[in-house]
């Protein structure tokens, strides 16, 4: 979509939740390059401020860094209030918490914060910004999902369930809100080279031929698909793997395969 049509449909402001690094920062770069002003949200202020300065200088757009912990229930209320005087035409919900390890070995509180960041907060944000966009009959919403959420996935069972929620919500809203002028997309990412991925890197020598994409490639594929379809799986090899798991294998075999793979890459021993 040419830049001026893009800003008409999705401008003048975009909110990127989880914007300071990784895929979120790649979205911020791509959106600033298309001429959108940005509200960038993450917990740590210094990387947000540095990115905001860089984007303002490079692309001559306005960028507001906003340090919020999206695991705190009131944070979305604050985000909505801070942006109440802006026309937000695009929401990218990229922030996520990924609790790794056996479900029962993690404290319940960790799983609950994961639900807050990955489900409850984006639901509140989609509801508020979605209503504002529908009133203007234009806008877009992108929710980040994961290949792990295409079926149950051991060692990230709750995270995978939250990512399934994001995909299914986005697909349902693609139809509901699409009729009212607002494009909704689930971006299903596979392994992507980000600080978050590196912090939870598989054990050396166990990742076999898992394809690892760049954050920029994931953001570019998502923006190209926005307004065209309800969801996209980023990366051709990931699309092939997802088709194999979902369409060729019985569900039990697909879940077992994921379980074996996760045990090998992240399990003990
Ligand atoms: N990387 C992958 O391999 C991969 C695969 C599949 C799906 N995904 C999805 O892609 C998205 C981004 O992943 P990523 O690897 O780029 O993540 P990342 O490198 O860990 O970056 C996450 C971003 O979100 C912010 N963030 C995290 N928790 C937050 C909180 N409680 N409140 C506010 N901001 C928060 C982080 O900044 P602060 O730390 O400063 O808060 C950072 O800017 C996620 O939704 C993830 O589920 C990633």
Please name the helix (run of DSSP H) or strand (run of DSSP E) that holds residue 8, with its range, or none.
helix 3-10
The CA distances from residue 44 to 53, 66, 67, 130, 147, in Å, are 15, 9, 6, 26, 27
Q: Which atom of ligand 1 is nearest to the CA of 72?
A: 31
Q: Which of 16, 17, 42 to mutate to test the pocket of ligand 1 (most atoms within 8 A of CB)?
A: 42
Taking only the tens of pLDDT, the chain with its 269 residues reads 777 899 999 999 999 999 999 999 999 999 999 999 999 999 999 999 999 999 999 999 999 999 999 999 999 999 999 999 999 999 999 999 999 999 999 999 999 999 999 999 999 999 999 999 999 999 999 999 999 999 999 999 999 999 999 999 999 999 999 999 999 999 999 999 999 999 988 888 887 678 899 999 999 999 999 999 999 999 999 999 999 999 999 999 999 999 999 999 999 75
User: Ligand 1: residues within 6 Å at CB?
Assistant: 18-24, 41-44, 68-71, 94-97, 117, 144, 146, 163, 189, 191-192, 194-197, 215
For residue 140, give the 3-state DSSP assignment. strand
Active-site annotation, residues: 159
> Ligand 1 mean position to 250 CA, how many Å?
31
Q: Which atom of ligand 1 is nearest to the CA of 18?
A: 24
Position 269 scores a pLDDT of 58
Position 164 scores a pLDDT of 98
| Minimal-distance CA residue to ligand 1 atom 39 | 43
Q: Which atom of ligand 1 is nearest to the CA of 26?
A: 16
Assign 3-class secondary structure to 157-211. Answer: HHHHHHHHHHHHHHHHHHHHHHCCCEEEEEEEECCEECHHHHHCCCCCCCCCCCC
Residue 51 and residue 24 in contact, taking contact as beta carbons nearer than 8 Å: no
- CB hemisphere CA count around 124 (13 angstroms): 19
Q: Which of 112, 196, 198 to mutate to test the pocket of ligand 1 (most atoms within 8 A of CB)?
A: 196
Residue 153 and residue 171 in contact, taking contact as beta carbons nearer than 8 Å: no
**pTM summary value:** 0.98
């Amino acid at each position: 979509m040419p830049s001026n049509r893009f800003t008409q449909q999705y401008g003048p402001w975009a909110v990127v939740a989880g914007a300071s690094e990784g895929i979120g920062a790649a979205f911020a770069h791509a959106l600033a390059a298309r001429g959108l002003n940005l509200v960038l949200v993450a917990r740590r202020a210094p990387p947000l401020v540095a990115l905001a300065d860089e984007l303002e200088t490079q692309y001559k757009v306005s960028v507001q860094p906003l340090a919020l912990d999206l695991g705190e229930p009131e944070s979305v209320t604050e985000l909505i209030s801070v942006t109440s005087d802006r026309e937000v035409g695009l929401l990218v919900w990229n922030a996520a918490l990924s609790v790794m390890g056996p479900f029962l070995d993690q404290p319940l509180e960790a799983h609950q914060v994961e639900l807050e960041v990955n489900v409850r907060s984006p639901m509140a944000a989609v509801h508020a910004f979605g209503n504002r966009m529908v009133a203007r009959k234009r806008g877009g919403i992108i929710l980040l999902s994961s290949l792990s959420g295409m079926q149950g996935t051991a060692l990230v069972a709750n995270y995978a369930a939250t990512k399934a929620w994001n995909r299914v919500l986005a697909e349902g809203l693609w139809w509901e809100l699409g009729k009212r002028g607002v494009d909704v997309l689930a971006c299903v990412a596979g392994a992507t080279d980000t600080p978050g991925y590196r912090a939870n890197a598989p054990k050396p020598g166990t990742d076999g031929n898992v394809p690892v994409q760049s954050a920029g490639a994931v953001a570019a594929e998502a923006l190209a698909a926005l307004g065209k379809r309800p969801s996209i799986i980023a990366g051709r090899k990931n699309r092939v793997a997802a088709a194999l798991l979902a369409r060729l294998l019985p569900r039990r075999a697909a879940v077992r395969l994921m379980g074996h793979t996760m045990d090998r890459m992240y399990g003990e021993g």
